[in-house]
Amino acid sequence: ELIATLALDNPKVPSNMLNAIGNVRQSQLMDENLWNYKDLESELIPYPGPRQEPKKQARLNMVGVKLESG
């Protein structure tokens, strides 16, 4: 009934819904028989933290361009 109501405004809704269902992967479902989603955190790679900015900005020397000091 909901899809029929939505299809009144957009006739492509039923086909879009069927295509979306066909694109679902097992890993996207919270079904313990298909995927062990509860232990996913044990497989995480530790986050090293924010990247440190260099103390001095690097410069790119270009042929024919004179850089000002300072």
Q: Based on the structure, what is the number of domains in the chain?
A: 1
pLDDT tens-digit series, residues 20-54: 999 988 777 778 887 777 777 777 777 777 777 76
The boundaries of the domain holding residue 36 are 2-40
Which of the four pLDDT bands, split at 50, 70 and 90, describes residue 17?
A: very high
- Does residue 53 lie in a domain region? no
Region of poorest pLDDT, from 5-9, 46-50, 63-67? 63-67
pLDDT at 55 over 70: no
- Does residue 16 lie in a domain region? yes
pLDDT at 70 over 60: no
- The residue whose two tokens read 């899809």 is 3
- Does residue 23 lie in a domain region? yes
Evaluate whether 35 touches 27 at the Cβ level (below 8 Å).
yes
- Does residue 25 lie in a domain region? yes
What's the pLDDT score for residue 47?
Answer: 77
Backbone angles phi, psi at 17, to 5 degrees: -65, -45
